[in-house]
Chain A
């Protein structure tokens, strides 16, 4: 158990509203990642963080922003949600042995 929690686990929102998803880890890992999972696409990297206040874009970052003000929390924000952002969002942390990534349980977001 890598000690990763995500909140909320499910959310339904309307187009144009802001949404923030939270990832919390208890093991002081430096690297954290946000992915989205969609049928036919596997997992795609949205943003990642390599330390407090250090973040960078992944392959599908448009429409998303992130923040990391403390080691244990990595926030993903949809400034103005769109229906194309309906997805399952996973947070991950990087392990120390062989660069493996451990995943949280996911957040299912529906944008109506």
Chain B
């Protein structure tokens, strides 16, 4: 079945760039999304990329999509302690029901 995989943990120093990676199996995914979850909270939509795009930039966030390899990455520039959270990649966005498949999440720890 459809699957989305992410590494479990990433530790960076404040001010450095963070890169969180994701791979997916469903080549028909129309949109790919990045969500952020802070402790005890719901998921907050950070950004998305349409499947016919290679890159999308939104302030400190850069999303890269390699459709051939089904690889998605999220780069956070100048990472701050407030960026510490779990980041989820999700694939889907197509069809009438728009069911999304989520990765298991990457815990980003930012060291001061």
Q: Residues of A with Cβ closer than 8 Å to B?
A: 31, 35, 40-45, 48, 50, 56, 58, 90, 94, 98-106
Contact = CB atoms under 8 A, between A and B. Distances in A.
Contacts of B103: 42
B79 to A, nearest CB: 22
Contact of A48 (B4, B35, B99): B99
A100 B42 contact: no
A45 B96 CA distance: 16
Contacts of A105: 41-42
Interface in B23-66: 30-31, 33, 35, 41-45, 48, 50
Given A90-B43, A100-B48, A50 B96 contact: yes
Contacts, number: 57
Interface core residue of A48, A101, A102 (most chain B CB under 10 Å): A101
Nearest to A44: B102
B88 A100 contact: no
Given A101-B98, A105-B42, A42 B104 contact: yes
Given A42-B104, A104-B42, A94 B99 contact: no
A98 B51 CA distance: 11
A48 B104 contact: no
11 contacts: A42-B88, A42-B102, A42-B104, A44-B102, A50-B96, A99-B31, A99-B93, A101-B33, A105-B41, A106-B41, A106-B42
Contacts of B105: 42
Interface centre among B41, B90, B98 (most CB of A within 10 A): B98
Contacts of B30: 99
Contact of A94 (B43, B44, B48, B98): B98
A42 B8 CA distance: 11
A95 to B, nearest CB: 8
A40 B43 CA distance: 16
A100 B97 contact: no
Nearest to B41: A105
Contacts of A43: 43, 88, 90, 102
